[in-house]
Structure 1
């Protein structure tokens, strides 16, 4: 006689689901930071999100995320320039994504001290907290601006660093600190160096929202700076996916490395304007505004990415073409509620 399996095999009761991994994010209220928070939650993480303290208790772009996303997010008001704020944010996290930074290049000509305080000292505070609290992974954010105008293309991670603005110099300073902490203390840091990211929620200090925002507001004569520089534009969701890739990859594949994230394509600002005009079915006249032109030796004329090392280490590749990403960005700005958040008549520094 065959004995029923139930008589010989003890019944098993499924155990509790594993707790979601906690990820801490600085700069979470910003453009890329808010997209990263969404991506982390979608991947099953619980997120502790630092928003720069302000008396309005504004959570920035996090306030626009769906409720089901925000239910998995703990918002912490603080400041990366304050070590205590940073320690409280990262304690107990499995991974820290450091995106907090001052980013506007034109404003860095006016207020370079503030860039050093946030982008260098702030990064130092994050590194110290990760080191002493023994956090398993830190993803530090760099920028393609640290390369300056391309000397060879596409730009690999071996390209010389050539900082042509105070902003770029401050970011390179943070990068060097990250490298030194890995070399000196074994801090488990990986540096992601995104090229130009664009998409919904981006500030109008950047060229794509500047063009789309002005056209969405009904203008057909728009003001810009130099139309000659070329850039490698990556859609925001793809950049967020790159952060998640280096934050979750095996340590041996990424820790201690700097990895570029970009599409490998380039387009001039002038051709970009023409493409946006075509997608928005608008005849566009461009007027050059001298306020928007960088000093001659500070303008970065060409940036195009080689992301081969990131792809080999993590499998990451962009999922959106430039046309697809622009179409989704145009849709965002054409929503009156979104457009109302922007001051399309002002030069956004």
Structure 2
């Protein structure tokens, strides 16, 4: 599918990945409607910090993904929907699991139901590597069993199944993109990389962290953004689940050490109990097989391997070191 002359809706455009995606689409000359969460401050989230020419090019719709009427209104006239709106913090899902079902499962139902009724040409639904749980084999292919090891991951499994059911039941043109551990500028401090960077940038050398032994497949945000666009453009992606990951595994502890090296800081780690997941809920190992993304969508990571991760971390550190950006984070408290 050629995205030129298409109206593209990005849900969750006020968030970390969504704001980068909306900006990139505008820079490529596409017609973008940004769905942001309504609030009384009229905040567009991270889009408030976009360049003025980008903000002027965006059509912004304020609403709530949980409201089917607002979702339908936002989708009217759109050819393509990139659905990123979701609750994603794993610790908060222990606290308020019902909210995750409403937002992630029902919110996805609202999108695919409207897509079916309105005849939308393509929906790209966002999954997560967390649906795999601890790897039973590596690298993890799209055929890996799904394991709901947290209320968050369970809600995303439900959302994925809801989306795919509309493809199998009604032939709604749905693709599922499954990103692995995206990081980069604007990421919430609930995630490990911003947690480390913000603590060091604010002068701390005794870092308060959780478990260091789990492994992850970190994916720089611009690689993830390119993945969304590649999947949306690929007709072969319809009805498919596609991993987007770097195909490089590294432990959380080694990642912390790499960040410290990039920031020229000598640090020690203090384990805080509140930052640890329940034993059976911790995902011990993630490592993406990304062959399908290349075969179906022509996507490959530009920040691959150890060198790519280091480059991505350096770009992320530079962004966080900007005082205007750093002030947006509360590094002295635990953000669930």
3-state SS in 1 of match to 2:175: strand
3-state SS in 1 of match to 2:8: strand
3-state SS in 2 of match to 1:330: helix
1:219 maps to 204
Structure 2 segments unaligned to the other structure (5+ residues): none
2:255 matches 1:272: yes
Alignment of 1:3-82 (within 5 A): 20-82=5-67
1:333 maps to 320
1:348 maps to 335
1:183 maps to 168
TM-score if structure 1 supplies the norm length? 0.93
Question: How much has 1:44 moved relative to structure 2?
Answer: 1.8
Runs of 4+ in 1 over 3 A off after TM superposition: none
Question: How much has 1:72 moved relative to structure 2?
Answer: 1.7
Q: 1:291 aligns with which of 269, 274, 283?
A: 274
Distance 1:130 1:45 in 2: 20
1:255 maps to 238
Question: How much has 1:248 moved relative to structure 2?
Answer: 1.4
Q: Residues 21 and 44 of structure 1 are in contact (CA less than 8 Å); yes or no, is this contact kept in structure 2? A: no
Q: Residues 39 and 244 of structure 1 are in contact (CA less than 8 Å); yes or no, is this contact kept in structure 2? A: no
3-state SS in 1 of match to 2:232: helix
Q: Residues 20 and 44 of structure 1 are in contact (CA less than 8 Å); yes or no, is this contact kept in structure 2? A: no
1:115 maps to 100
Question: How much has 1:141 moved relative to structure 2?
Answer: 0.3
3-state SS in 2 of match to 1:246: helix
Distance 1:266 1:42 in 2: 32
Question: How much has 1:163 moved relative to structure 2?
Answer: 1.0
Question: How much has 1:19 moved relative to structure 2?
Answer: 7.4
Q: 1:202 aligns with which of 175, 187, 192?
A: 187
RMSD: 1.0
1:174 maps to 159
2:80 maps to 95
Structure 1 segments unaligned to the other structure (5+ residues): 1-17
2:311 maps to 324
Question: How much has 1:43 moved relative to structure 2?
Answer: 2.1
When residues 48 and 223 of structure 1 are mapped into structure 2, their CA distance, relative to the original with a 3 A threshold, is: same
Q: What's the CA shift string for 1:202-247, capped at 9, x where partnerless?
A: 0000000000010011111110000000000000011000001111
Distance 2:233 2:24 in 1: 12
Distance 1:297 1:207 in 2: 19
Larger CA Rg, structure 1 vs 2:
1
TM-score if structure 2 supplies the norm length? 0.97
